[in-house]
Amino acid sequence: MKAVGIVVEYNPFHNGHLYHLQETKRQTGADCVIAVMSGNFLQRGEPALVSKWARTRMALAAGVDIVVELPYMFAVQAAKEFAAGAVSLLAALDCDYICFGSESGDIHHFTEAVKALAKQEDKYNTYLKKALKTGVSYPKASALAFQQLQIENLDLAKPNNILGFYYVKAIMEEHEQITPYTIKRIAAGYHDQTISDPSIASATSLRNMLHYSIEHLEKIAPYIPESTKKMLYEYYSTYRLFHQWNDYFPLLKYRILTMELNEMREIADMDEGLEYRFKEASMEAKNFAELIDMVKTKRYTWTRLQRTCAHILTNFTKQQKESNKKATYIRLLGMSETGRTYLKTVKKQLSLPLISKVSLLEDHPIYKQEKKAAFAYASALQEPLRTKAVKEEYATPPIGK
C-alpha cells in the first residue's frame, strides 16, 4: 500500500481542506492518507476551536485514513521546527509522499529554493542578522534575506510557501524517502479575514464569522462539510464553548503576575526584555487582545507573542525546546478500516513506537509537555466538564470509522 502524508490543524475542517484532501488522493494515487494533526494548541499559538478528538472525527468523516498527533513540542513552533517534527513523524510512518497546500502550487519552486539556500547558507545568515538589527520581526527578516539571495519563483513571505519550503528542506536534509507534492491554494488565503468565494473560505475567516458561538453556526454552513457542522454542534452542546484565548486570559494573567522574572526568562521564546513588557501589560490589559497589543512591537509579531503566551500557560521552557528536536513516538488518534490495514502492513517496520495508550508515555519528556497542554486546554471549562476533558486525554482510545 502507498501512503501520502498531510500536515493539518483542521481548525475547523472546511471545504478548502476537503479540496486539498481530494486533490492529494488524485495527484499521488495513494491508497492511504495519513494526517499529522496539531493537538490542543496550534502553530500560531492559539487554542484549538474544539478538541483534537472532535477534529479527528472531522478528518475521518471527510476521508482521512489515519490521524496522529503532532506533539505540542513541535506544533507550537515556528515553521522550521513545526515542519521538521511533522516530517519526522511521516517518515516514521513509512509515507511515500507528502502533499501540502501552497500559494506557489509548483513543487519545483520549492526544491530549487532549498538547493539554492544550501549553496548560500552563510550569505543567508549574514543577510538575516543584518535585517534583524533593523528591528524587524524574524519572519520579515527571513523574507528579506531570501529576497537578497535572489531565489526566484518562490515568494517566501507567504505563510504556506514558508511551511512548504521547510517540509521540503527537512526531507532533503534528512534524506527521507518521501516524494513531495504541492497543491495551489484556491479562493482563500491563509490569513484572509473576509470571504469572496461561495463555498471556500479560510479557517481564520470562518472563526471570525462564527464569533465562537453556536448562534452563528449556520453562517459558516456553506463553507464546511455537513459532518463538520454536526461535530461543531455536538462539541458546543457538550462543552458549552468554542475555545479562544479570552477563555484562558484570567489564568494567563495570573501566571504572568505571579511568576518571578527569572522564571519567565526560562520560558521558551521569551527574549531578553519581553518579561518586563508582559508584566507591565498584564497590570492593565482587560482581555487577551489588549495584552498582545501592549506587548507587540515591530520586532515581535502577534503570532510570535501568541506562541509565547501558550508557552507561559503550559510552562514550556527553553530547556525543553532545545532538548527535543525530533519525534520519538507516534500517538494514534484515529483510523479508518484502510488505515487499520495499512498499520498492520507496516507496523513491524515503523522506526518509532506506535502508541494508542498514553499510560505507556507517562515518563516520556515530550508527552509530559503534552499532558500540561491538555490540562491547560481543559482549564477553560467549568466543572464537571473540566474533569471530563482531562479524562478524555487518558481514556480515549483511537477513534475508529
Whole-angstrom distance, CA of residue 23 vs CA of residue 401: 22
- Find out whether 287 is annotated in a ligand binding site: no
Whole-angstrom distance, CA of residue 198 vs CA of residue 120: 44
- Find out whether 191 is annotated in a ligand binding site: no
- Give me the residues paired with residue 33 across strands: 4
- Find out whether 13 is annotated in a ligand binding site: yes
DSSP 179-216: EEEEEE--S--TT--S--SSS---HHHHHHHHTTSGGG
- Find out whether 153 is annotated in a ligand binding site: no
- Find out whether 9 is annotated in a ligand binding site: yes
Which amino acid is located at 14 in the chain? H
- Find out whether 12 is annotated in a ligand binding site: yes
First to last CA, the chain: 19
User: Which residues contact residue 209 at a Cβ distance below 8 angstroms, ignoring those fewer than 6 apart?
Assistant: 195, 201, 216, 219, 220
Whole-angstrom distance, CA of residue 114 vs CA of residue 140: 18
Whole-angstrom distance, CA of residue 168 vs CA of residue 114: 7
- Find out whether 249 is annotated in a ligand binding site: no
- Find out whether 304 is annotated in a ligand binding site: no
- Find out whether 17 is annotated in a ligand binding site: yes
- Find out whether 40 is annotated in a ligand binding site: no
- Find out whether 7 is annotated in a ligand binding site: yes
Residues that constitute the known binding site for ATP:
7-20, 101, 160, 185-186
Residues that constitute the known binding site:
7-20, 101, 160, 185-186
